[in-house]
């Protein structure tokens, strides 16, 4: 079973909307889009392992 992060990501609606806009931006860098997606998934309660698998990136990229 994936281990949950000891950190909780909580933010208001406006930052969430900004991150969602960033994930849909075609002009943003790939790194920034993936980072925004990882933050949103963490806020939804997914573990680092689940986030890395869903985004098809290395676990250290998500957990750092």
Is this prediction's pTM over 0.75? Answer: yes
- How would residue 47 be classed by pLDDT, with cut points 50, 70 and 90? confident
What was the pLDDT predicted at 64?
Answer: 65
What was the pLDDT predicted at 53?
Answer: 92
Specify the DSSP element, H or E, that contains 14.
helix 13-24
Angle between helices 48-55 and 30-43 (to 10 degrees): 140
In contact, 42 and 9? CB cutoff 8 Å = yes
Express each pLDDT in 9-45 by its tens digit. 888 899 999 999 999 887 878 889 999 999 999 899 8
């Amino acid at each position: 079973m994936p281990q949950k992060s000891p950190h909780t990501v909580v933010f208001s609606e406006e930052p969430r909307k900004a991150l969602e806009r960033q994930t849909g931006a075609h002009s943003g860098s790939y790194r920034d889009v993936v980072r925004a997606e990882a933050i949103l998934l963490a806020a939804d309660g997914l573990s680092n392992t689940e986030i890395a698998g869903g985004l098809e990136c290395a676990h250290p990229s998500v957990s750092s």
